[in-house]
Amino acid sequence: MNKILAVGPHPDDIELGCFGTMARYAKEGNEVNFLVLTTGEGGTGDGNRNKEAIKSAALIKAKFFMENLKDRFISEGPETISVLEKYIDMIKPDKVFIPSATDTHQDHRATFHASMVACRTVKEIYAYETPSTSRNFAPNFFVDITDYIELKVKAVKIHSSQGGKGYMADRAVKGLAEYRAFDILLNDRYVEGFDIIKVVV
């Protein structure tokens, strides 16, 4: 049994970036934890984004934690590092999933860089892609989530306060997962792609 920690700067990032993989890890008997760094107050909606995030985490019985860093102003410095270190100390994860350094959203990049410090003793770190990840993202670790794609679509849909965004549509979520399957020459499958930041065995 592994302990897994997925870190999202905002309430919907984990769902978009790695929910299928988290669902698979949970089903396979691992302990899955979600940490969301902001309440997403800078996004659209009515301030219910924390409730949406709690509800989607519950789909796979992930342990859910939310912090209150300032949306759009997440720093890569001591404030964010100490928040992350608190959870690394508490959970002692074997694997951590974070946004990519190639992401165009400043909060996502800051989360990546703060995680590099806070996760220095973690043996496995993987970066996921989000709708704001740049074209330079080149995954080299692929997880077949075919059995979990409907759950991922459902989890994304729970974030209905952000639902007007095209990348949250069923066809967009499935389209990216199908595209990542084609990346590794798999037909009729759905896949999430990750950038391996560090693996120690």
With contacts defined by CB under 5 A, name the span among 4-12, 21-29, 165-173, 185-193 that binds Zn ion: 4-12
- Residue 9 touching Zn ion (CB under 5 A): yes
Helices (H), 119-159: 149-158
Q: Smaller CB distance to Zn ion: residue 114 or 181? A: 114
What whole-number distance in Å separates Cα of residue 167 and Cα of residue 80?
Answer: 27
Q: Smaller CB distance to Zn ion: residue 99 or 193? A: 99
Q: Smaller CB distance to Zn ion: residue 9 or 139? A: 9
Residue 133 is classified by DSSP as B
Query: What's the min distance (Å) between Cβ of 10 and Zn ion?
Result: 3
What whole-number distance in Å separates Cα of residue 88 and Cα of residue 108?
Answer: 18
Of the residues 13, 15, 103, 124, which one makes contact with Zn ion according to CB under 5 A: 13
Contact 52, 157 (CB under 8 A): no
Contact 130, 99 (CB under 8 A): yes
- Residue 10 touching Zn ion (CB under 5 A): yes
Q: Which residues here bind Zn ion, judged by CB under 5 A?
A: 9-10, 13
